């Protein structure tokens, strides 16, 4: 048996090069569950602002692809009450943007094609705002300051090459 001793450092004690490696690793491993939770919360706010009520929160889903690539975006599906209409939005296709949906509207008071256009415009506006929020949230979570706060709050320590010490 042999005993090996290695030095362990706090983040601020690391060289600039090792700090950069740590920050890059944290960015690469960022947990998207926080993004999903925050986007769902923001969707709830946007629906309320637009007088749209989710009928079945268990079926309300947020879809997104936010990697700065063609076809990226955000959308949501579920069952809603909007004015005199019951609205069902379903996901179609392979993309996750505001056009990858099907909208069905039903009302006891009759159906007005103009209302479907109005609802679609509201839907697209909400989806675009949700997309912008998602990109902003990714930038925030990946910012150097937030990563450093996370490291400090969790008391992480590192070897001199920037790899995390698990003690």
Model confidence at 31: pLDDT above 70: no
- Residue 28: the pLDDT is 85
DSSP string, 105-145: EE-TT---HHHHHHHHHHHHHHHHHHHHHHHHHHHHHTSHH
* Coil vs helix vs strand at 81: strand
Q: Find the mean pLDDT for residues 132-142.
A: 93
Alpha-carbon span 141 to 29, nearest angstrom: 11
- Residue 18: the pLDDT is 94
Alpha-carbon span 128 to 74, nearest angstrom: 7
Longest dimension (CA), the chain: 82
% of the chain beyond a pLDDT of 90: 78
Alpha-carbon span 60 to 77, nearest angstrom: 6
Residue ranges per structural domain of the chain: 1-30+142-167, 32-129
Q: Is 0.85 surpassed by the pTM of this model?
A: no
Indicate the pLDDT class of residue 129, thresholds 50, 70 and 90: very high
What's the Cα-to-Cα distance from 144 to each of 3, 21, 103, 156, 163, rounded to whole Å? 36, 12, 41, 15, 17
- Mind listing the pLDDT tens digit for each residue in 84-123? 999 999 999 999 999 999 999 999 887 788 999 999 999 9
| Residue 157 buriedness (CB in 10 A; 0-12 / 13-18 / 19+) | middle
- Which residues, other chains included, contact 133 with Cβ-Cβ below 8 Å and sequence gap of 6+? 38, 39, 42
- Residue 154: the pLDDT is 93
Q: What phi, psi does 75 have (nearest 5°)?
A: -155, 170
- Residue 58: the pLDDT is 86
Q: What's the mean pLDDT when you consider all of the chain? A: 92
């Amino acid at each position: 048996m042999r005993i090996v001793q290695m030095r362990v450092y706090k983040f601020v004690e690391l060289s600039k090069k090792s700090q950069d490696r740590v920050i890059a690793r944290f960015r690469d491993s960022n947990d998207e569950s926080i993004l999903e939770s925050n986007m769902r919360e923001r969707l709830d706010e946007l629906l309320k602002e637009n007088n749209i009520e989710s009928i079945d929160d268990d079926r309300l889903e947020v879809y997104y692809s936010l990697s700065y690539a063609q076809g990226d975006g955000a959308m949501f599906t579920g069952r809603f009450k909007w004015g005199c209409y019951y609205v069902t939005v379903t996901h179609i296709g392979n993309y996750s943007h505001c056009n990858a949906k099907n909208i069905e509207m039903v009302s006891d008071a009759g159906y007005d094609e103009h209302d479907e256009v109005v609802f679609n415009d509201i839907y697209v506006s909400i989806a675009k705002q949700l997309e912008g929020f998602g990109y902003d949230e990714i930038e925030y979570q990946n910012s150097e300051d937030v990563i450093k706060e996370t490291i400090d709050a969790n008391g992480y320590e590192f070897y001199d090459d920037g790899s995390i010490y698990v003690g």
